[in-house]
Structure 1
Amino acid sequence: MILVYTHKITPRVRYIFKHVLTRTLLISVDFTTKVEEFVAHSGPKLTYTKTPLGNEFFIKSNDLLFEQGVNDLDINIQKWDNTPCFFGAGSKSAIPFDIFAASFYLISRYEEYLPHVKDMHGRYTATESLAYKNGFLEKPVVDIWAYKLLEKLKEKFPDYDYKTRSYKYLSTIDIDNAFAYKHKNFVRTFGGFFNDLFKLRLINVWYRFAVSLNIKKDPFDNFQKILDIKKASDIRTIFFCSIGDYTTFDTNVSASKNKYRLLIKDLVDYARVGLHPSYFTMQNPGLLKKEKERLESITNMPVIRSRQHYLRFNLPETYQQLIDLEVQEDYSMGYASNVGFRASTCTPYYFYDLDFEIQTPLKIFPFALMDTTLNDYLKITPKQSLGKIRDLRNEVKAVNGTFITLFHNESLSNHLRWKGWKRLYESMVKIATS
């Protein structure tokens, strides 16, 4: 256990010290504001305040962890060796930056509470972020800083029994469209057929006929393949099921269709299943509740995991709604347009609500990359994508973090815009687990 002396123990101080020291470095931590208690402590200890008490392990504190609310901060990015960092701590500090305040700024998504321009889907964009503007979006800097701190702690306290966490891989699959052509209602089936015919999309017309007559398998029905890869590679896999009503942005088969309900029940037997709340749930808590209850009625078990469709969420409102519905884990933390680490960490963490200044019970699992980002936004080839995947995996592995990927069952189809992408998922899993 490491004892931290600080002039004031705030919820922010407790939260970020426990994230950096306990969840990332596996070092338990306690706090004191009493100098005599700090001096009497015989184990590892550090002071986090404005001036050192003596020649102890001292980190000069920034004001951020002792404030409340959100202010427009002046952030000056500098280099700590080769790693970008901010909130300089001066020469007396054992490390040159207050990484606790800097980590809190990034993990709490402080900047997303400040005024910003949203994209066409009402989302906070990667280009608005400090990480993108300063070139560290593809580096989990919070974890990198933690490991740099660990080096200094080992120098100061060489006899302490340090533990090391292990690298993990987690595959997540979004089911936006369980089937490309099958199990749609009459209006959608014939509407799609005549639309393809009118626009001379003859390949689509052929596929519709072939799938309808059971000559060919539905191209999006790749669930057995994903489960086979899961079993062969022994990886943790979560399916996020879209079960909202039909809209322009929600085009899955109806949750009332028996075939889709049976598919979800089947997935529950072999993997974990979570909710994929529909496009308009971001502004509609009642709709979110309705969809959660709908999935629970299919699986006959509580829904504890969620990922927003289109990654549409507002902070802190969307997370507050999930907490109210007793959802325990969210997997939406990432960007649609860019790969990398939206919260600058590859360690799952608890959401800190800046509105109420509390650590919440909602655990955030930040993902590093998404298949549609690679194909639709970055417009790179499957081969180039493997290079990007390997780079991100290496960043996570260097800090023994959790590498989380987001794929869709559609991208294994080799169909339409996914032509040539069929083998990418399996190749990615091999890279992630090698």
Structure 2
Amino acid sequence: MILVYTHKITPRIRYIFKHILTRTLLIPVGFTSKVAEFVAHNGPKLSYTKSPLGNEFFIKSNDLLFEQGVNFLDINIQSWEDVPCFFATGSQATVPYDIFAASFYLISRYEEYLPHVKDAHGRYTASESLAFKNGFLEKPVIDIWAFKLLGRLKEKFPDFTYNKRTYKYISTIDIDNAFAYKHKNFIRTLGGFVNDLIRIRLLDVWYRFTVILNIKKDPFDTFQRILRVKNMAEIQTIFFCSVGDYTTFDTNVSASKNKYRLLIKELVDYADVGLHPSYFAMQNGALLKKEKERLESITNTPVTKSRQHYLRFSLPETYQQLIDLEILEDHSMGYASHVGFRASTCTPFYFYDLDFEIQTPLKIFPFALMDTTLNDYLKNTPKQSLGKIRDLRNEVKAVNGTFITLFHNESLSNHLRWKGWKRLYESMIKIASS
């Protein structure tokens, strides 16, 4: 155990020290505000306060972890051995930056509580973030800082036994549209035909016709292939299923359709299944509850995982709703428009609620990239996308973190806008799980 002395033990201090020391570096941590207890401790120890007590391992504290609520902060980005950092502490400290306060600022999503301009879907945008503005969105800087701290700790306490965490990979699949053409009701099918004809999309008309007549397999029905890849690579795979009612933004087949219900039941037998709340559930707790109960009635198991549709969430309200419904994991932490690390970490972390100043039981799993980001927003080719995937994987592997990707069953279809992308998923799995 490493003992931390600070002049005041706050919930923020407990939260971020446990995240960096225990969850990231696997070092148990204890806290004290008594100088005598700190001096008497024979094991590794560090002080986190305004000035050192002696010649101990010392980190000069920023005020952030002793405050409550949210305030505008003046942040000056500098470089710590070629890594962006902020909250400089001066030469007295063993570490020249208060990486605990900086990590808390980023991982709590402090900046998302401040006034900001939202996009058309009501989302916080990457371009508003400190990481994007300062060029470190594609680096898990919190993990990098943690391992730099570990290097200093090993120099100071060489006889202490340090454990090493292992790299992990999680493949997540969003089911926005389980089927492209099949199992839609008569009105939607007829409307699809008419719409394609009006827009002179004859190829679409042909695809729709051949699939409905069972001449060809529905192109979005790629689930057996995904499960086959999962079993061959022995990777954890999570499917997030949408079961909301039809809207402009929610166009999946109805959850009352027997074929879709059977598909979900089959997925539960071979992989993890979570909820993909509908577009408007972000602002409607009753709707979110209804959809959770609907999915549970299909799976006959408690639903404990979720990812917001369109990645629409607002802090802290959306996460508070998930906690009220006993959701234990959320996988929405990422941007639609850019790849990278929205919370600047590749380590799953517990949501810290700045409204109530508490660590909550909701665990956040930040993903590093999404297929639609690469194709629709960044306009990358499959080959370019594979290079970006490899770069992000390398960043995560360098700190033995958790690499999480977000794909859709549609992107394996080789259909329409996904032409040429069919093999990217399998190529990515080889890179990610190697």
Match of 2:198 in 1: 198
Number of residue pairs matched by the alignment: 434
Which secondary structure state, in structure 2, belongs to the residue aligned with residue 43 of structure 1?
coil
Percent identity of equivalent pairs: 84
Range moving further from structure 2, 222-231 or 208-217: 208-217
Q: What letter matches 1:320 in structure 2?
A: Q
Match of 1:363 in 2: 363
Which secondary structure state, in structure 2, belongs to the residue aligned with residue 97 of structure 1?
coil
- Provide Cα deviations, 1:358-405, integer angstroms capped at 9, x if missing partner: 000000000000000000000010000000000000000000000000
1:280-295 correspondence to structure 2 within 5 Å = 280-295=280-295
* Structure 2 CA distance for aligned equivalents of residues 199 and 277 of structure 1: 31
- Provide Cα deviations, 1:104-132, integer angstroms capped at 9, x if missing partner: 00000000000000000000000000000
> Does 2:329 correspond to 1:336?
no
* Structure 1 CA distance for aligned equivalents of residues 242 and 82 of structure 2: 42
Q: CA deviation at 1:197?
A: 1.1
> Does 2:160 correspond to 1:154?
no
Q: CA deviation at 1:230?
A: 0.0
> Does 2:16 correspond to 1:16?
yes
* Structure 1 CA distance for aligned equivalents of residues 282 and 170 of structure 2: 25
- Provide Cα deviations, 1:78-121, integer angstroms capped at 9, x if missing partner: 00011000000110000110000000000000000000000000
Q: CA deviation at 1:228?
A: 0.2
Range moving further from structure 2, 193-202 or 42-51: 193-202
Match of 2:37 in 1: 37
* Structure 2 CA distance for aligned equivalents of residues 215 and 43 of structure 1: 71
Q: CA deviation at 1:198?
A: 1.3
Match of 2:225 in 1: 225
Q: CA deviation at 1:138?
A: 0.1
* Structure 2 CA distance for aligned equivalents of residues 295 and 34 of structure 1: 51
- Provide Cα deviations, 1:202-228, integer angstroms capped at 9, x if missing partner: 111011111011110000000000000
Q: What letter matches 1:139 in structure 2?
A: K
1:370-409 correspondence to structure 2 within 5 Å = 370-409=370-409
Q: CA deviation at 1:433?
A: 0.9
- Provide Cα deviations, 1:126-161, integer angstroms capped at 9, x if missing partner: 000000000000000000000000000000000000
Q: What letter matches 2:209 in structure 1?
A: F
Which secondary structure state, in structure 1, belongs to the residue aligned with residue 295 of structure 2?
helix
Q: Which runs of 5+ in 2 are unaligned?
A: none
Match of 1:57 in 2: 57
Q: What letter matches 1:122 in structure 2?
A: G
Normalised to the residue count of structure 2, the TM-score between the two structures is 1.00
Which secondary structure state, in structure 2, belongs to the residue aligned with residue 172 of structure 1?
strand
Q: What letter matches 1:39 in structure 2?
A: V
Match of 1:267 in 2: 267
* Structure 1 CA distance for aligned equivalents of residues 429 and 250 of structure 2: 28
CA RMSD of aligned residues (A): 0.3
* Structure 2 CA distance for aligned equivalents of residues 15 and 141 of structure 1: 18
Q: What letter matches 1:177 in structure 2?
A: N
* Structure 2 CA distance for aligned equivalents of residues 393 and 173 of structure 1: 18
Match of 1:238 in 2: 238
Which secondary structure state, in structure 2, belongs to the residue aligned with residue 181 of structure 1?
coil
Which secondary structure state, in structure 2, belongs to the residue aligned with residue 170 of structure 1?
strand
Moved over 3 A (4+): none
* Structure 1 CA distance for aligned equivalents of residues 333 and 195 of structure 2: 36
Match of 1:127 in 2: 127
